[in-house]
């Protein structure tokens, strides 16, 4: 049984992909550079001694180092690597909503949580560079790939 999609909802993926002007792509590249350089400065030095970190800190250091490498790939392919920026925004917004805001409301924000909140607040730069209209059309309105 095939699913019928109303003609008004069908968005040609190729048309969506070719839509961003060079200026907009360069704004996206700035976001990738901001994320990649920031993570490289903070996380790459930890990789040398990752074996001596507590397990979860080592996992986070490795994961964020991988994210920085993928962000650098976004300099070359800004549209194709857009999910990396979306992941960055998503995990930080979830952390702020689930961890930081409850501590702020109950007025028991400790130094470590305050520092993490400060670091996560830089997500506003990534939020600002994402082409949200394009993202909506590409990932919500465009039909997904066939399951079979």
Whether residue 15 has pLDDT greater than 90: no
Whether residue 24 has pLDDT greater than 70: yes
- Least Cα distance to 42 among 129, 127, 118 occurs for 118
Distance CA 148, CA 146 (A): 6
Give the rounded distance of the alpha carbon of 69 from its chain centre.
13
pLDDT digits (tens, 9 = 90+) for 38-97: 999 999 999 999 999 999 999 999 999 999 999 999 999 999 999 999 999 999 999 999
Whether residue 16 has pLDDT greater than 60: no
Residue 10's pLDDT band (cuts 50, 70, 90): low
Reported pTM: 0.83
Whether residue 20 has pLDDT greater than 80: yes
**Are the CB atoms for 89 and 130 separated by under 8 Å?**
yes
pLDDT digits (tens, 9 = 90+) for 112-148: 999 999 999 999 999 999 999 999 999 999 999 999 8
Query: Given this model, what pLDDT does residue 6 score?
Result: 56
Query: Given this model, what pLDDT does residue 19 score?
Result: 82
Give the DSSP letter of residue 48. Answer: T
Whether residue 4 has pLDDT greater than 60: no
């Amino acid at each position: 049984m095939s699913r019928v999609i109303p003609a008004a909802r069908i968005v040609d993926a190729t048309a969506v992909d070719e839509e961003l002007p060079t200026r907009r792509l360069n704004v996206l590249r700035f976001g990738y550079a901001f994320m990649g350089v920031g993570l490289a400065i903070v996380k790459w030095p930890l990789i040398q001694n990752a074996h001596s970190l507590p397990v979860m800190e080592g996992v986070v250091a490795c994961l964020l180092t991988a994210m920085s490498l993928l962000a650098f790939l976004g300099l070359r392919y800004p549209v194709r690597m857009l999910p990396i920026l979306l992941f960055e925004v998503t995990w930080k917004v979830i952390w702020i909503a689930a961890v930081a805001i409850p501590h702020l409301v109950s007025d028991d924000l400790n130094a470590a949580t305050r520092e993490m909140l400060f670091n996560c607040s830089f997500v506003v730069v990534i939020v600002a560079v994402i082409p949200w209209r394009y993202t909506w059309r590409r990932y919500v309105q465009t039909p997904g790939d066939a399951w079979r």
